[in-house]
Copies of this chain bind each other. A is one copy, B any other.
Amino acid sequence: MRINQNQIQENNKTSIKTLEEQFNYTSNTLNNKGVDVNAIIKKLQNLQIAIPSWALGAGGTRFGRFSFFGEPKNLEQKIEDIGILNALTHSAGAVSLHIPWDIPEDYNGIKTLANSLNIKFDAVNSNTFQDQNNAALSYKFGSLSNTSKDIRQQAIQHNIDVINIGKKLGSKSLTVWLADGASFPGQNNFQTALINTENSLKEIYATLPKDWKMLIEYKPFEPNFYSTVIQDWGTSFMLATACGDKAYSLVDLGHHLPNCNIEQIVSTLMYKGKLGGFHFNDSKYGDDDLTVGSIKPYTLFLIFNELVYGMENNPNNPDLEWMIDASHNLKDPLEDLLQSLEAIQEAFAKALLIDQNKLKNAQLNNDIVTCQEILHDAYRTDVRPLVAKARLNLGGAINPIETYRALNVRNQLIKERGKYSIATGL
């Protein structure tokens, strides 16, 4: 199923007048403060967030999974789903494939399909945290860090295979999330595991095409519950530095210990030119993989403040690979992703409202109250009209969720795919 431009425009009709009023008011108010609203709109229009191929079906927990209906059964249907998101928002113009869940059978067909929906192939993701049916060796006790050379080799080769798949699709980066670790004290030797991991990553890195990036994710716990080899940004940064210039750290918002100041990590990595990618989600307890902005929207704004600052001030840091990495256990994945896209764009818009010069001056004067007021002024502004306007300019929906529902998309998908189709992935 595809949503076409006309359907969206039709649906926009009822709200376009209200939007224009709200946009004019907001725009005037901001212009009066010296904000360049047009520049912000342009930046919003340019922000494209990748959707991971595994996020289009229902997620679950170790206690089970509740089915959702009309899930995409294959890669084509997953890209179709992203096409729906992109048609509605014009901000989801990329897909991030997970291998082996989504190995294309027909590369040209997939590329043509994606192209027709304005969808690019973003970072490709390897998987060495599960055993595949046909696997010769098991990752039960680790993959890139395993004490067995054969198992490490299998995991290295898998990553190389993933790169090769990505090359055929036009991807330019590999994301490595390593679940390796230990659930019990003594289970592994920290130093051996670290050395093995470093060497394995270097072997993968050696096969990386010149214009590619390798993104190294970190995470403190789960699925291992005592230690994780790449437990924090420091370890990821150390490994990326050891690999070389094309290796970077990747921040997933849910991969931190309680109370961690994530925005400071973002800032440090950008200063060092080593922030390569970003996985968006939200969480209250652990790696809860909830909808972006659903729990701590102010933290999201503070993170975007650092991202905006870094994009302006750290030319040595590359363009980021943005991706949503949430698990949709209870809600329609497409609606959930629309909420996440909205939250990201709002946080970005608000961060762009911050007057960086004023902020710098207040910081130099140690006028903390003013520093905060500058942030509050940006954060408390209702930027929904700006975000909607940016979408509208590109042909998207003023109210994506409303339009999605008005167009009965999910029912249509159920009709096409059947009720009990199940997506590959978690």
Task: Name A residues whose Cβ lies closer than 8 Å to a Cβ of B.
Answer: 22, 25, 29, 59-64, 66, 129-131, 138-141, 147, 179, 183-192, 194-195, 220-223, 225-227, 231-235, 237-238, 257-261, 263-264, 267-268, 270-272, 283-286, 288, 290-291, 294-299, 302, 305-306, 309, 313-314, 327, 329-332, 335-336, 339, 346, 359-360, 362-364, 366, 368-369, 371-375, 379-382, 384, 401, 426
Contact = CB atoms under 8 A, between A and B. Distances in A.
A363 B184 contact: no
Identical copies of this chain, number: 4
Contacts of A147: 363-364, 366
Contacts of A234: 232-235, 237-238, 268
B221 A285 contact: yes
Nearest to A131: B66
Contacts of A130: 63-64
A284 B257 CA distance: 11
A374 B147 CA distance: 19
Given A129-B63, A284-B261, A285-B221, A331 B369 contact: yes
Nearest to A58: B140
A41 B187 CA distance: 28
A223 B329 CA distance: 10
B131 A190 contact: no
A285 B186 contact: no
A66 B140 contact: yes
19 contacts: A63-B179, A64-B223, A66-B139, A184-B290, A184-B294, A185-B302, A185-B372, A186-B368, A187-B363, A187-B372, A190-B263, A190-B268, A192-B363, A220-B259, A222-B286, A227-B261, A257-B257, A259-B284, A297-B298
